[in-house]
């Protein structure tokens, strides 16, 4: 008996065989992937802004060079992910238009300001740490181009995280004022980082279907728990205090109990009302508009070349 397209697709998912761009896939699977991958790409691009803010003010030439290449890596991840999303039939222009109109989301975390140099350490340590926790399982996501993109992205992210931890360690071993800067940055970034994993499973409309299709390999709450369990010992090693009075080791579950995230703050930021949402979006729109002449020139150049080759 001939199998239906849907049966072939389901069989591949069940047997952990990757779905590739030219394979048949349910329309909703395609839509979910375009949503998640484009949102991920936008996060990388918008994510360059908070750190970019410190490139000119890094405390040494060495720190400046390291930060410059980290931010450049993020641009690379963004472009890589836009390409992965394009294999699903959308265009980069469409995705960028959706970001600029506010229709497409990007990670809530990048709507917080970077107030001191310690924030650059905290972003590398915590934000890249959360990104790795979330993205390593995506190496096994069911869509081939996304899974393959994650391999290189995760290698670079793990380097970024060490970079952040090293900044934090230098500050924590420094003068009392430096240690205090590190603690203050930790206080400001801890809770927003926990929000990166998305709403609680009970409030997450996409998790169930995405788990069934093996787009997501773990739920939001599972990854958030793993992240807390990984970070608490690292904070202790640095001599920093986790800003959560409810944090407590739970022997039975072999993990930490921790306080509830401020979900009102989360949704407020997601809806566009965080401390930097307007700045971030207007910086992206401005960069796009100011780059119009480059795109026009590149197009004219390509057309001229094609004409010459046709002669
Ligand atoms: N911010 O049903 P769910 C980085 C939205 S790392 C804003 O649970 P899903 C590296 C969600 O889109 C950051 N919106 O959704 C870096 C949905 O709305 P929609 C990027 C959020 O997709 C480091 C609604 O809430 N990483 O960039 C957030 O199953 C340092 C309901 O949520 C990725 O994108 C949020 N935090 O799970 C760069 C990883 N959370 O779309 C620079 C890939 C949820 O229906 C410097 N993505 N929403 O309108 C994922 O793993 C998933 O998409 C989740 C959300 C886990 C983020």
pLDDT at position 311 is 86
Instruction: Please state, in angstroms and rounded to a whole number, the distance separating the CA atoms of residues 19 and 143.
Output: 5
* d(CA 43, ligand 1 centre) in Å: 9
Decide: pTM greater than 0.90: yes
Ligand 1 contact via 277 beta carbon (within 6 Å): no
Cβ atoms of 82 and 92 within 8 Å: the answer is yes
Q: Which atom of ligand 1 is nearest to the CA of 220?
A: 56
Ligand 1 contact via 108 beta carbon (within 6 Å): yes
Cβ neighbours of residue 20 under 8 Å, at least 6 residues apart?
144, 145
* d(CA 107, ligand 1 centre) in Å: 6
Pocket test for ligand 1, best of 28, 32, 33, 39 (most atoms within 8 A of CB): 39
Cα dihedral across residues 153, 28, 220, 92: positive or negative: positive
10-residue averages of pLDDT along the chain (311 residues): 92 98 98 98 98 96 97 98 98 97 97 98 98 98 98 96 98 98 98 98 98 98 98 98 98 97 98 97 97 97 96 86
Output the six-digit token pair for 46. 């918008």
Q: Which atom of ligand 1 is nearest to the CA of 206?
A: 2
Instruction: Please state, in angstroms and rounded to a whole number, the distance separating the CA atoms of residues 136 and 174.
Output: 33
* d(CA 141, ligand 1 centre) in Å: 15
Alpha helix stretches (DSSP H) within 173-291: 176-195, 207-212, 220-238, 263-268, 277-290
Pocket test for ligand 1, best of 101, 107, 213 (most atoms within 8 A of CB): 107
Nearest CA to ligand 1 atom 6: 131
Angle, vertex CA 74, rays to CA 73 and CA 76, nearest 5 = 65
Please name the helix (run of DSSP H) or strand (run of DSSP E) that holds residue 256, with its range, or none: strand 255-257
Instruction: Please state, in angstroms and rounded to a whole number, the distance separating the CA atoms of residues 1 and 153.
Output: 42
What is the interface pTM, i.e. ipTM, of the complex?
Answer: 0.98
pLDDT at position 96 is 97
Ligand 1 contact via 207 beta carbon (within 6 Å): yes
Nearest CA to ligand 1 atom 3: 204
At 249 the three-state DSSP class reads strand
């Amino acid at each position: 008996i001939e199998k239906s397209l849907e049966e072939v697709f389901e069989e591949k998912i069940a047997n952990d065989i990757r779905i590739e761009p030219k394979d048949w896939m349910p329309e909703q699977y395609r839509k979910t992937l375009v949503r998640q991958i484009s949102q991920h790409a936008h996060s990388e691009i918008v994510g360059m802004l908070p750190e970019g803010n410190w490139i000119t003010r890094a405390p040494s030439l060495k720190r400046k060079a390291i930060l410059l290449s980290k931010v450049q890596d993020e641009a690379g991840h963004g472009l890589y992910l836009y390409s992965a999303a394009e294999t699903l039939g959308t265009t980069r222009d469409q995705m960028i238009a959706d970001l600029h109109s506010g229709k497409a989301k990007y990670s809530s975390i990048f709507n917080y300001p970077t107030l001191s140099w310690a924030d650059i350490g905290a972003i590398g340590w915590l934000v890249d740490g959360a990104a790795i926790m979330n993205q390593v399982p995506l190496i096994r996501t069911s869509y081939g181009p996304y899974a393959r993109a994650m391999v290189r992205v995760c290698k670079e992210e793990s380097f970024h995280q060490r970079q952040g931890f090293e900044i934090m360690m230098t500050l924590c071993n420094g003068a009392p004022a430096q240690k205090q800067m590190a603690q203050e940055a930790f206080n400001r970034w801890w809770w927003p980082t926990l929000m990166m994993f998305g709403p609680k499973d009970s409030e997450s409309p996409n998790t169930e279907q995405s788990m069934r299709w093996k787009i997501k390999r773990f739920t939001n709450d599972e990854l958030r728990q793993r992240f807390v369990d990984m970070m608490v010992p690292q904070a202790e090693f640095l001599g920093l205090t986790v800003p959560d009075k409810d944090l407590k080791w739970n022997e039975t579950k072999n993990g930490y109990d921790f306080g509830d995230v401020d979900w009102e703050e989360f949704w407020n930021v997601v809806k566009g009302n965080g401390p930097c949402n307007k700045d971030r979006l207007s910086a992206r729109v401005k960069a796009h508009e100011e780059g119009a002449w480059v795109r026009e020139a590149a197009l004219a150049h390509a057309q001229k070349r094609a004409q010459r080759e046709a002669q």
